[in-house]
Chains A and B, each alone.
Chain A
Amino acid sequence: MSRTLDDENQQTSNDLGLARAQLARMMRQGRSFSGRERNCVYLNTGGPRFADVSAVSGLDFPDDARAVGVVDWDQDGDQDLWISNRNAPRLRFLRNDSKKTGRYLALRLVGNGTTTNRDAIGARVEVVAPELSSLKLVDTLRAGEGFLGQSSKWIHFGLGTISAIDRVVVKWPGGEAEDFTGLSVDGRYELVQGQGRGTVVKARPDGASLSPSEISLPNPRAQSRIPLVNLLPMPNIGFQDFQGLDRVIRFGTGRPVLVNLWASWCVPCVRELSELAIRNGELKENGLQVVALSVDGLGDRRASPKSAAAMTARLNLPFDAGLASSGLLQTLQLYHDHLLLMTKPLPVPTSFLVDGSGRLSVIYKGAVAVDQVLADLAHSAGSRADREQRAACLPGSLLPDDGVKRMAEVGDEMVFFQLAESFRANGMMDWAGVLFAELLSKEPRPALAALCQHRLATTLAARNELETAVRHFERAIEIDETMGEAHHDLGMLLGMMDRTEEAVGHFEAAIAIDPARPSVHYNLGNLFIKKERFEEAASAYRQSLEIKPNQPDCVTNLAYALVQLEKVDDAIRVFRTGIELRPRNEDLRTNLAGLFIQQERMEEALKEVNAVLEFHPNSRAATELKKHLESGAASGKN
């Protein structure tokens, strides 16, 4: 493969990551993507071109179909279909009601179990009939095909107008061929290996009595009660009460808390709050604390905190109440989005039930009845299996297998880790750090422990706790010394802390682990530049460019280092090579122009400046340089 393609591959791989992440985000927000497409059916006309009979077939449902299973379900001599879907209905049975079909032959194969598997999977069957002339009629018995599907083990031949079958040749897997005779058209037969004759299998005596049916889908449910399998710790959250005081809800004090989001204009909210208020005595007896937070005024022009205060007074709420902030909403939304696949915005009312140890236990979207909340207080108490069964959409059982359980536990660790990652990505470093530390205290598998140490270190560095950050980076490396990412980031951090030699050591370790990452060489070069070690900087930049030549920043920095080493011609050559790859890049040309000016090569400088202005007429740097060049030329004339 050519060099260009390799380079392109690198680039594509990044694009692919970004594109996929973007796509996943959009779809999780509820975007359709190649949805509402209708199944297609192509009829083989015996010629080179199939006919598109999608609509006439009656199979063209917009279901997001997945697996197709082919079977003569009703045993009437034609092929019916089962199709599984993503959309409702999740499963369809489609009966073949074609008015006129050709003749058929249905065969069930039985292998001998000694030279052939009993199911005779892999057997090749050929129908031999004089009327076929040169056309073949062959099929193979397969287990699993299409996508996620398995069809019936009956081999079904359409015979068209053929009136008589000479014989059927079965090539059993392994190669032995056997002739079967005594077969008539429109018949169902069992072919047992070694018997040479088919045995008639009668269709069911009464026939199936199925009727066509329109499917009417139920309305989606307005309320969702979401008991959680994974119990994730919640950070204390602050709010402002109606007296304007800053308050904090502290979780994990032994008392469960129900955080209720509501709005004064939302009728179900008010109804729900009234019930909570009326039955507050019972809630208290069960140890439950309610905090009602209004979203009034958050971006809504008609409602304001005042309406919330008035409604609160009217309802005479016997529990804590106040105003939610958008930051608080963001946190709750983050938990929701982390735990559910569809990340649609939270509705009002929404309630979060947090258990006595501060772990989120149940999310209610839409109003919830007090009795339900009381019953759910016990949800977080049970085992993981209990919770999984309670959280299931419909009742079912769990596999009692250790391997399956282990996979579930691994999944749990990742749910926790990724929650922490979400906070980190949102810049909420304190809480991200707490979560990483808590996960580490659960002693996860080493691969994850190293990741946790690394991530904890980045949160610490972000909080400017540099010494502690260094220690955690080092721990990550202790657990997994091949973690190039940790070496690199520690190198960056030590560089910032002016511990240059150590920093260089870690960069070099990162390079030893994966020499092909251009950014590591580049950042090492930047470290050397900062320390005015230009030879080493130039060498690092050159290595980076060797891996990935198309990096304007790296080109610029290399040229800068070379200028410092008084290798001006080399610097110009470097710029030229860079510009060849990116002829329209603004920075490369303006910097080269700057260099020319320094060398008093004004004409060449002007050429570069003009080239920039051609593609970027508004370039500030180029405009400044041009002004300077023109005034210089003017003063030169004087």
Chain B
Amino acid sequence: MQGKPAESGGVLIWILLMVVIAILVAIAVILPRMKEEEDFPGVIGSKENSTPRTQEVEWTPPVDDGRPTRLFMGKSWAEVDDPESDGWDSEAFHDQVTAQLKSLSKLFHSGEPLSESEGEKLVVDGFSCGALVPGNLEVVFSDGTVAVARSDGGSSSASFAGRDGFSGALEEIARIFRGATDLRVKFKVFDIRENAGEDAGEKEGQGSITKQYFSISGRSKKSYIEQKSTWETRWSVSGDLAPKLASIEISDFEQVTTVEGNETLFTDCTTSVLGKNADFEEQFLRGMSEWFERAQDARYFALLGAAGLSVGDVNGDGMDDVFSCQEGGLPNRLFLQNPDGTATDVSKEWGVDWLEASRSALLVDLDQDGDQDLTVALLGNVVVCENLGDRFSVKTVLPTDDDTMTLTAVDFDNDADLDLYVCVDYGKMQVDSARAASLAGGGSGGVYHDANNGGRNCLYRNDLEKGEPFRFTDATDEVGLDKNNRRYSLAASWEDFDNDGDQDLYVGNDFGRNNLYQNLLAETGRATFQDMAATTGAEDSASGMGVSWADFDRDGRMDVHVSNMFSSAGGRITGQKKFKPDASEEVRNRLRRFARGNTLLSNQEGGFSDVSETAGVTMGRWAWGSNFVDLNNDGWKDIVVGNGYITAEDTGDL
């Protein structure tokens, strides 16, 4: 045993050591991997160390199918993102539950009854549930094409108990879809409460509850049918065994059927319209993932694969045509419609087959000569072309921040010509030092739920009234659109939301609050803007990716739909207690809100009301272009949602 003074001294030294370590850590930040330079094999003039590095290199077994075999180096995403190892127990539980639900899906696909051994794996002895297809379905809508039936939520008398009961309950669904083609079954787990019993103070503490959306659809002989419902399931967990179903309760049941025949409402006629064009297969039947493996990315950040399209009558023959924007290295395409409905690629003849990456386009008359001119947002420039009747001619190129997105045209100052507004997601990525400091695909240093350091959206005023066609002036700042203007904007749309005769602007922003710029032209005589999103209840703080207006409730006021991300994984994770435990409730709620999905804001007396959840339109997945369309000509605007972020070969989707 040492004497006391020496011990105290020892502790002090230990504290000092801490400081030294802290200094070393700091130095390591600016002098990354000082020691590792020896590993570099290719220093000019020097010889490589003949000992191979210790890094594991492995490849898939050689198969000679004439295709190259892939070498593999480094960590795979599966290693990086393994819920078993990253401490998200709820996500590990989700994986187990999903596996069980998948075997349920397989049952529906096979159409076979539940076997005894499968039943044993899936459900506990004391299983119970009510009817999975409610008996009290009521047709709430029919337009002669589709019929919608719902249950009023009242419990049905049918009750199923035990494994046999489970089998019987499944049969209620299975018999509807037995023999159906195009059968699709999907569970999406959006909420997990592990050990829910414990929280509730129950004795049986091992039960966990998950909530999932269940959807099943298919084409039977008579009808195309789809069912949706929410399943609240209790799982029994014991030991290392997979969780077993203890009970199921369903809610929000809805069934949609075609009334006459089993055909879907829409038919894909793409090949019929475009198939005769020489490059159709090569350009349109290969996905962006394939090009990204096969061509240099001379620009940046195009992984998104976001190419706009524009419909308009380019040659004035009374038939609409379509312009398709394309990624860098792929030519833009202009398809002119023929009288038989097919369309012919004239992009080369019309001088618009540019290889520069193009995001979005507009066909509008900018010089008031009665034909449709073409505007295309490239990355960092907006190109404006005049329609010469048989081709487009570039008239001016307007500089913008780099990562251009949705392009819109409007007469914001009511001077009888069309002005241009372009959204920009990221800013000057290439020059900005902070961003250049990070490697390709690196971070941007923004605040996820409330960023204002993105690209600058830009309003270009048309100066046609001064007798100068195709002259545009950047009017963003002078009209007040420079406020809240760097929120990573993906989409915008103009509408006179306050019915006062001037055009107001809604902007959908990726990382936080949206803008609703009220045009004060009617009030003040000058076209200036004021962001009224907060005071009108239109902020919709989420990942705004698409904006559309329509009077969906037919009260004469224009309502707005914003596409966002619906993420069941986001719902699961942000719902956990351990999600950002240090963050304030305000921040947690904001982040949780990001996973809710699409938003429908009803324009009412005195402001907007978020009716998304009662309208049942939130779950549009990772949504992009979402438009109001009256699909059945009944006067009520329906909503079409294009979605999906990035599909690749693996199946690791959330």
Contacts and interface: CB of A to CB of B under 8 A. Distances in A.
B441 A21 contact: yes
A148 B23 contact: no
Given A17-B442, A265-B62, A299-B57, 14 more contacts: A42-B617, A52-B215, A100-B144, A100-B145, A113-B368, A126-B556, A146-B626, A147-B625, A327-B39, A327-B42, A366-B68, A394-B329, A428-B39, A428-B42
B81 A26 contact: yes
B638 A246 contact: no
Contacts of A138: 551, 556, 558
A90 B567 CA distance: 24
A597 interface: yes
A404 interface: yes
23 contacts: A33-B646, A49-B616, A50-B615, A56-B256, A57-B631, A64-B643, A91-B270, A93-B273, A94-B268, A117-B365, A147-B306, A174-B414, A218-B286, A222-B67, A235-B42, A236-B43, A248-B48, A340-B292, A392-B331, A396-B331, A397-B348, A464-B34, A496-B27
A119 B369 CA distance: 10
B322 interface: yes
B16 to A, nearest CB: 7
Interface in A109-157: 111, 113-119, 121-122, 124, 126, 135-140, 142-154, 156-157
A350 B68 contact: yes
B514 to A, nearest CB: 14
Interface stretch (A226-234, A278-286, A313-321): A226-234
A21 B438 contact: yes
Contact of A587 (B18, B263, B274, B319): B18
A2 B283 CA distance: 52
Nearest to B654: A34
B534 interface: no
Contact of A632 (B4, B140, B312): B4
A407 B636 contact: no
A394 B632 contact: no
A400 B57 CA distance: 46
Contacts of B339: 204, 206, 208
B156 interface: no
Contact of A95 (B269, B340, B546, B653): B269
Lowest 10 CB-CB distances: which A-B pairs, in order? A17-B443, A58-B264, A208-B341, A238-B48, A65-B642, A35-B647, A396-B331, A24-B441, A347-B68, A148-B308
B71 A401 contact: no
B646 A94 contact: no
Contacts of A407: 378-381, 402
Interface stretch (B98-106, B168-176, B485-493): B485-493
A440 to B, nearest CB: 14
Label chain A's interface by main secondary structure. mixed
A144 B7 CA distance: 75
Contacts of A529: 19, 23
Contacts of A372: none
B614 interface: yes
A401 B278 CA distance: 28
Given A32-B647, A144-B360, A397 B331 contact: yes
B164 to A, nearest CB: 31
B50 interface: yes
Contacts of A563: 12, 15
B307 A345 contact: no
Contacts of A55: 184, 215, 217, 224, 226, 256, 264
Contacts of A333: 73
B18 A65 contact: no
A355 interface: no
Contact of A24 (B291, B303, B356): B303
Interface stretch (B114-122, B126-134, B239-247, B446-454): B446-454
Contact of B256 (A8, A53, A171): A53
A147 B72 contact: no
Given A35-B645, A140-B495, A344-B70, A122 B410 contact: yes
A9 interface: yes
B248 interface: no
Contacts of A157: 630, 635
A306 to B, nearest CB: 15
B275 A213 contact: yes
Contacts of B267: 58, 94-95, 97, 212
Given A228-B296, A526-B26, A40 B620 contact: yes
A118 B292 contact: no
B633 A160 contact: yes
Contacts, number: 939
Contact of B548 (A146, A244, A628): A146
Contact of B437 (A2, A45, A228, A485): A485
Interface stretch (A74-82, A498-506, A610-618): A74-82
Contacts of A341: 292, 297, 302-303
A47 B554 CA distance: 11
B143 A329 contact: no
B388 interface: no
B256 A82 contact: no
A557 interface: yes
Contacts of B468: none
A212 B617 CA distance: 29
A80 B363 CA distance: 18
B190 interface: no
Nearest to B382: A403
Contact of B436 (A85, A213, A417, A461): A417
A594 B407 CA distance: 63
Given A63-B644, A394-B331, A403 B293 contact: no
Contacts of B619: 40, 52
Contacts of A35: 644-648, 653
B146 interface: yes
B254 A51 contact: yes
A64 B647 contact: yes
A165 interface: no
B621 to A, nearest CB: 4
